[in-house]
Amino acid sequence: MERKMEENTVRDVETGSETGGEDALVGNVNKLMVSPPGYSGAPRKGHLVFDACFESGNLGRVDYISEFEFDLFIRPDTCNPRFRVWFNFTVENICETQRVIFNVVNFSKTKSLYRDGMSPVVKSTSRPKWQRLPAKNVYYYRCPDHRRNYVMSFAFCFDREDDVYQFAYCYPYTYSRLQHYLSSLERRNLPYLQREQLGLSVQQRRLDLLTITNPEHHSGLEREKKLVFLTARVHPGESPASFICQGVIDFLVSQHPVAQVLRDHVIFKIVPMLNPDGVYLGNYRCSLMGFDLNRHWQDPSPWAHPTLHAVKQLIVQMNQDPRVSLEFYIDVHAHSTMLNGFMYGNVFEDEERVQRQAVFPRLLCQNAPDFSFSNTSFNRDVVKAGTGRRFLGGLLDDTSYCYTLEVSFYSYTTAGSTAPVPYTEETYMKLGRNVARTFLDYYKLNNLIKDSRPIYIQSSEVRPHTDDSNGKDEGVGRDAADREREKSHGVRH
């Protein structure tokens, strides 16, 4: 606990306030019917029923203000009252055309992309594809009724009586979805993909490790192959990281000529979900026991931080193996106050090393229209000392590069435009595909592409894998601009 107290004394501008008070809620609402005060008759249509007792759900309390207005309280991360950001809940028993205002009243952060037009996402039983609420229906303001806390209010009109509606901070990507996706990949028996269980979380969930490379290199790693290590979801509420990670995996296991060349020359090791308990529980930043795992890389405990401990052991072991050239460590996150994709890197005394470290983000900027090199920064902030990027930056030798890849929870702007384009599940995955593609440029392997097609990745060339056995499609639709581009390139489906 000493280390835990220490962690709380350093103020981290990215995390939020440290107040608990009335917000120290425990547990999610469970099929909670919210009737007018004093009402004692039979439940009626329009008495809303709220529920967050499901995987990745989060809603701690609902207060009835009027028949049109409800105050919603986020349940803090388990064992840590400091973090209240992620929400994910359902509403049912509505009246057709019932209009409501929901006020989310206890965010632990004040700065938010809600100031810049971000809005929650919604889906319903008859419309299962997530969509963002119109920005004009969302208000973010300092509220005198709630101790001058920042409140996010959104207006919504229910339109189908029998639907169950679900609202979330961002597109959820659950532990079960990951397991379903990895199982469907495994069933394809790809010779260049290996899945193994690297360990278990405190609550005994799988810590998966994927190795993607050509089969003759699975055993006895050979000197001439480079190794790239990628991790995601150390912060469980940062769900866009999982879409990026899936985009990387989908691309690397595809038949795209760039992917084939990369598998010949590089070993990719990917841990898609570092904090499976936190994801499952609907936490924003912490594990089951209230630890921000990304502050514990220096000395992870096998019982308190088992997933981190297992990954760190593997990286240290590979780093000591003379046959392994561990060149990249990239940890994928999502950012709640900035736009675009961007990176954090480390600061070095050696100017040449500083320049070399900037190469990958510069190349990624050329490949991904939503990636911002100007937002990319290199730092040695004391608060970040226990992060994967900082710890491994100190452990690995000077030919290795450690980055945090961040992507906005909300949107990106492209060169020459100021209009923000909201991210979708598909555009997050596309950023992942572009990250994978950038290793081709980094290692200057372009001349090995045998195919004469343009090697810029169109979204049709790498379709997110779908598992037809149960009729569920893990992939998501493509936007109109993609379809236009595909037509112009003559890409066949």
Q: From its phi and psi, is residue 369 left (phi > 0), alpha (psi between -120 and 50) or beta?
A: alpha
Q: How far apart are CA 379 and CA 363, in angstroms?
A: 20
Sign (positive or negative) of CA dihedral 415, 417, 423, 426: negative
- The dihedrals phi and psi of 394, each to the nearest 5 degrees, come to -85, -30
CB 304 within 8 A of CB 289: yes
Smallest CA-to-CA distance from 405 within 173, 291, 283, 235 is with 235
Smallest CA-to-CA distance from 400 within 315, 310, 294 is with 315
Q: How far apart are CA 430 and CA 464, in angstroms?
A: 10
Beta strand spans in 158-218 (E) = 165-168, 193-200, 206-212
Q: How far apart are the first and last CA of the chain?
A: 56
Reply yes or no on whether 406 is catalytic.
yes
Cα R_g (the chain), whole angstroms: 23
Smallest CA-to-CA distance from 359 within 381, 333, 379, 378 is with 378
Q: How far apart are CA 173 and CA 233, in angstroms?
A: 10
Measured from the Cβ of residue 486, the count of other Cβ atoms closer than 10 Å reads 17
Q: How many residues comprise the chain?
A: 493
The tokens describing 479, both together, are 């936007």
Q: Which of 92, 238, 327, 406 is catalytic?
A: 406
Q: Give the β-pairing of 226-232 and 266-271.
A: parallel
Q: How far apart are CA 254 and CA 432, in angstroms?
A: 13
Check residue 145 and report its DSSP letter: G
Q: How far apart are CA 465 and CA 225, in angstroms?
A: 27
CB 121 within 8 A of CB 167: yes
Q: How far apart are CA 102 and CA 122, in angstroms?
A: 13
The tokens describing 98, both together, are 């019932």
SS percent in the chain: helix, strand, coil, step 5: 30, 25, 45
Would you please indicate which residues are annotated as catalytic (active-site) residues? Answer: 406
